[in-house]
């Protein structure tokens, strides 16, 4: 119910006095409603203006606080859908994605098609051990040790020097009992490397790095080694001609006892090999 006291703040005492003097109440209330609507409209407009000004001020403060040089871009993740996003590392420069490496056994220099990573001496497990590793190693000349236990321990693998065993093989008899050098070579412009046994030439489209003779330990050992390609013109490590064995390099023969395609493969012929890149 509208009370006269409610109208004082809106219309003032003069209007109320006119009402008290007998002015038609319907006319008076109609004017009051119109006046109230106008006042509400003015209030809405003022509120909208104030809110707009406040938002503009906040935007200005935000722009000022966020100004400054742009930071560096973060690392890109892997595009491989099989790699989880959390494991995707930084992108690898394109230059690092092209190239391959190989070991040139029997030499300490790389061919003109490659650059040297490091050179060293061939090594591996003792020739008649039944355990330890089975692969040949290209050991650097200057090893660097992490903390180690002094003295010889019983429960360890063991690495020794490597020797040529070629006394009965005339093409390489001059290097018999000498230690074997090696070198790791890098090719920057090709991605693939392949050692092919049984030939001294590369397939069409491949580039020859070097050729030589296929070698391994002797067939009757308890601990076999891998097959590797030793350069056709091997070098030696000077001053190492004593017969000390260690891990050994013997030429590898083809045998026609089983299903090799003989007579293309010569029974008892020492096999050639070639290292190719593409």
192-210, pLDDT tens digit by residue? 999 999 999 999 999 999 9
**Predicted local distance difference test score (pLDDT) of residue 79:** 57
* 265 located within any domain: yes
Same domain, residue pair 53 and 108: no
Tell me, what DSSP letter sits at residue 127?
A: T
Domain contains 149: no
Residue 108 forms part of a structural domain: yes
- How far, in Å, CA of 235 to CA of 228, rounded? 16
Query: Burial level of 76, CB count in 10 A (0-12/13-18/19+)?
Result: exposed
Q: What is the pLDDT of residues 208-250, one digit of tens each?
A: 999 999 999 999 887 789 999 999 999 999 999 999 889 999 9
Widest CA span in the chain: 144
Residues 136, 246 within the same domain: yes
- 54 in the same domain as 98: no
Instruction: Note whether 54 and 190 are same-domain residues.
Output: no
| 102 falls within a domain | yes
Say if 12 falls within a structural domain: yes
* Whether residues 127 and 10 fall in one domain: no
Q: What DSSP letter does each residue of 115-130 carry, written as one string?
A: EEEEEEEEEES-TT-S
**Domain encompassing residue 199:** 94-144+157-277
235: tokens are 């070098």
Question: pLDDT tens for residues 3-35?
Answer: 434 434 444 444 444 444 444 544 544 555 455
In a domain, 64, yes or no: no
Please tell me what DSSP assigns to residue 57. Answer: H
* Whether residue 185 is found in the same domain as residue 245: yes
Query: Which among 30, 58, 86 is the end of a domain?
Result: 58
Phi, psi (deg, nearest 5) at residue 146? -80, 175
Asked if residue 243 and residue 186 are part of one domain, the reply reads yes
Pair (13, 126) in one structural domain: no
Number of domains in the chain: 2
């Amino acid at each position: 119910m509208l009370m006269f006291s409610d109208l004082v703040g809106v219309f003032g005492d003069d209007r109320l006095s006119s009402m008290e003097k007998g002015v038609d109440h319907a006319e008076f209330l109609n004017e009051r409603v119109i006046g109230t609507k106008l006042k509400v409209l003015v209030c809405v407009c003022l509120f909208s203006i104030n809110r707009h000004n406040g938002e503009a001020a906040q935007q200005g403060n935000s722009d000022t606080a966020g100004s400054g040089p742009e930071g560096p871009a973060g690392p890109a993740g892997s595009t491989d859908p099989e790699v989880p996003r959390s494991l995707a590392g930084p992108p690898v420069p394109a230059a690092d994605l092209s190239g391959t490496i190989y070991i040139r056994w029997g030499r300490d220099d790389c061919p003109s098609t490659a650059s040297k990573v490091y050179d060293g001496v061939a090594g591996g497990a003792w020739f008649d051990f039944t355990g330890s590793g089975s692969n040949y190693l290209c050991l650097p000349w200057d090893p660097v040790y992490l903390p180690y236990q002094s003295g010889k321990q019983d429960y360890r693998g063991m690495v020794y020097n490597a020797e040529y065993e070629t006394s009965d093989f005339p093409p390489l008899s001059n290097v018999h009992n000498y230690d074997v050098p090696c070198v790791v070579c890098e090719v920057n412009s090709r991605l693939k490397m392949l050692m092919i046994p049984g030939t001294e030439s590369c397939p069409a489209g491949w580039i020859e790095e070097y050729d030589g003779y296929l070698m391994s330990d002797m067939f009757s050992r308890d601990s076999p080694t891998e097959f590797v390609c030793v350069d056709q013109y091997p070098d030696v490590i000077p001053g190492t001609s004593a017969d000390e064995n260690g891990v050994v390099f013997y030429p590898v023969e083809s045998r026609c006892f089983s299903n090799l395609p003989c007579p293309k493969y010569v029974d008892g012929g020492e096999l050639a090999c070639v290292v190719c890149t593409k």
